[in-house]
Structure 1
């Protein structure tokens, strides 16, 4: 089985990267391969709401000159994924938001019942807001979220400080362990129980 980890930080080997490594190390103990893709330092177009992806072949985004289509395809093919972002003004980092808007608009239908989770890294406050924002994507894509003992945030400012947050590291480790268990359960269950039937999304607009 394979998990794709999306690193929304622009800093190479920073606290977000180290928090993801905690998750990856735990998943690897359970025989799960993890590929980490850092997107926070890249130039990524924001979604323009053009609707191209709804009619294009394999629901590709109209922008072909950045990493979104390629990475979304890897997420589609994976058994699960992790979304990780630093905290900017109690919100998701800008490039990560651009990536998520487009990846999930094009691919949410491919993500149904995959196991997915989110983590944030924060200096002091706002990390819970980031986890909630990331989870909005996961919930609306009908993914399965593994639990942990607390919100999946880890604290640190300077590079490496996140590893001094013992409770945060433990929370991430337990989340990864639960993710590994859910991946096994879902993989085993597919052999006996088909996924729930889907139906067309009814869209109700409130302004006529």
Structure 2
């Protein structure tokens, strides 16, 4: 089994990276392969809602010069993924937003019933809002989100301070442990329990 871990921080080795390593170390101890992909420092074009991905082969995004299509493919093929971001103005980092808009617009249909989670790192306040923003992508893609003991937020400003937030680190570690458990449960049940039956989606527009 494999998990793709997305780091949305512009700082490669900052607090978000260190908190993410806590989770990936736990997954690896549980026998799960992990690939970390750093996107926060890249130049990533935002989604323009052109609809090209709806008709293109393999539902690729029209913008092919950045990492989005390549990473979306890896996330489609993985058993699960982690989304992580620092907190900027009570929200996620801008490049991460551009990345997620395009990945989920092209690939949400491939993510259904995958195990996925998210966390944010924050200096003081706004972390709950950032996690909620990340989880909006996971919920709309119908992923299975593992639990933990508290909101998946860790605190720290200067590099390395996040590791002093013992409760936050424990929360992330327990979240990763629950993620590994869910991955194994779903894998064990694939041949025994079918996924829920599907219905044709009803779309209701309020402007006629």
TM over 0.5: yes
- 1:199 matched to 2:199? The reply is yes
Shift of 1:93: 0.4
Shift of 1:194: 1.9
Report 1:116-195 matches (<5 A): 116-195=116-195
Distance 1:153 1:102 in 2: 25
Report 1:13-52 matches (<5 A): 13-52=13-52
Residue 6 of structure 2 corresponds to: 6
Q: Secondary structure at the match of 1:85?
A: strand
Distance 2:79 2:114 in 1: 6
Distance 2:128 2:206 in 1: 30
Q: Secondary structure at the match of 2:6?
A: strand
Shift of 1:10: 0.4
CA deviations over 1:61-89 (Å, ceiling 9, x no partner): 00000000000000000000000000000
Residue 107 of structure 2 corresponds to: 107
User: Runs ≥4 in structure 1, deviation > 4 angstroms?
Assistant: none
Q: Secondary structure at the match of 2:132?
A: helix
Distance 1:153 1:201 in 2: 34
Shift of 1:198: 2.4
Structure 1 runs not aligned, ≥5 long: none
Distance 2:191 2:23 in 1: 27
Shift of 1:199: 2.9
How many residues end up aligned between the 2 structures?
A: 208
Distance 1:44 1:198 in 2: 34
CA deviations over 1:152-188 (Å, ceiling 9, x no partner): 0000001000000000000000000000000000001
Q: Secondary structure at the match of 2:3?
A: strand
